[in-house]
């Protein structure tokens, strides 16, 4: 039983809301634009997304073990940084980690393929693109995270592709409102990745994992959080002002009251350590609350 628990926890389920909310957002946009909601499709698409996410988290642990960044991470580890540590704590072997990650991705692919064959083959393109970006986020030789492209990769997969895919599952087509709705989620999940790179700075630098924070340096890079959050909230305001989003979506901008303390905390505690934990939690809350408020605006 403990082994099963270890495998489950290695997927980092505390981050599953980060993929579940964008899936629900895509479905809510479909309801707003087409008055359509197919529960079975939604459940299958949510299961596929969670399997993909869990699999990619496990594979990320494997490749960070291989490149050494998690092995030498001596910073103050939090529930949000440093990987799951199951390999380092010898609770799951590297080979088991790789096999488990690939199995989860395979199961997610089967669910996605079923949806593509029964709804629209374009889902294969969206799924394959997400799969490639997710795999090569940490896998060589591409290693997107180590080239300073991690934020863009995560924003594209957890934001744009997930919302568009969920909308396509419900309606059988793509839509402009789904794309615009995905932008705040893309920026905010990128902000979450960005702030999590600060506690890992020293380990990533020693391992040659040149994340965006490693490239900029923590002191200069701390101001980047304002740019990313600015993109998130400006996309909401501009979307509502231009009619690309429903006017009610402006309520999602209220989540800025949780995002700003996170940004201020990072600017003050950019060297990492336990003092940064409340800031990371604030960005997580901003991402979730923005998604929930956007969903609510589509249902009003």
Residues with Cβ < 8 Å from 132, sequence gap 6 or more? none
Per-residue pLDDT of the chain (300 residues; tens, 9 = 90+): 788 887 888 898 888 999 999 999 999 999 999 999 999 999 999 999 999 999 999 998 888 888 765 555 555 455 555 556 677 777 888 898 899 999 999 999 999 999 999 999 999 999 999 999 988 998 888 989 889 999 999 999 999 999 999 999 999 999 999 999 999 999 999 999 999 999 988 888 887 889 999 999 999 999 999 999 999 999 999 999 999 999 999 999 999 999 999 999 999 999 888 889 999 999 999 999 999 999 999 998
Listed by start position, the domains of the chain span 2-299
What whole-number distance in Å separates Cα of residue 218 and Cα of residue 114? 44
The three state secondary structure string of 176-235 is: HHHHHHHHHHHHHHHHHHHHHCCCCHHHHHHHCCCCHHHHHCHHHHCCHHHHHHHHHHHH
**Domain 2-299, CATH:** 1.10.600
Contact 193, 234 (CB under 8 A): no
The Cα–Cα gap between 116 and 279 comes to 39
Rounded CA separation 120/114 (Å) = 10
């Amino acid at each position: 039983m403990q082994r099963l628990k270890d495998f489950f926890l290695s997927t980092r389920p505390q981050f599953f809301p980060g993929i579940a909310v964008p899936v629900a957002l895509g479905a809510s946009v479909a309801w707003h634009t087409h008055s359509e909601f197919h529960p079975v499709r939604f459940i299958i698409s949510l299961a596929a997304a969670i399997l993909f996410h869990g699999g990619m988290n496990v594979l990320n642990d494997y490749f960070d073990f291989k490149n050494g960044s998690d092995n030498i991470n001596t910073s103050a580890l939090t529930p949000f940084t440093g990987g799951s540590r199951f390999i380092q704590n010898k609770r799951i072997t590297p080979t088991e980690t790789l096999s488990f990650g690939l199995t989860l991705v395979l199961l997610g692919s089967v669910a996605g393929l079923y949806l593509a064959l029964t709804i629209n083959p374009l889902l294969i393109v969206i799924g394959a693109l997400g799969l490639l970006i997710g795999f090569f986020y940490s896998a060589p030789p591409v290693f997107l995270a180590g080239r300073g492209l991690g934020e863009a990769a995560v924003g594209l997969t957890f934001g744009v592709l997930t919302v568009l895919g969920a909308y396509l599952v419900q309606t059988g087509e793509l839509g402009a409102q789904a794309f615009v709705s995905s932008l705040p989620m893309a920026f905010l999940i990128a902000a979450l990745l960005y702030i999590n790179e600060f506690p890992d700075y020293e380990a990533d630098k020693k391992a040659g994992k040149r994340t965006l924070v490693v490239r900029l340096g923590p002191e200069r890079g701390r101001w980047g959080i304002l740019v990313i959050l600015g993109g998130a909230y400006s996309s909401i305001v501009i979307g509502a002002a231009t009619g690309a989003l429903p006017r009610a979506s402006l309520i999602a901008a209220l989540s800025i009251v949780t995002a700003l303390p996170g940004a201020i905390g990072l600017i003050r505690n950019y060297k990492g350590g336990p003092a940064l934990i409340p800031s990371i939690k604030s960005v997580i809350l901003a991402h979730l609350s923005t998604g929930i408020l956007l969903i609510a605006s589509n249902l009003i």
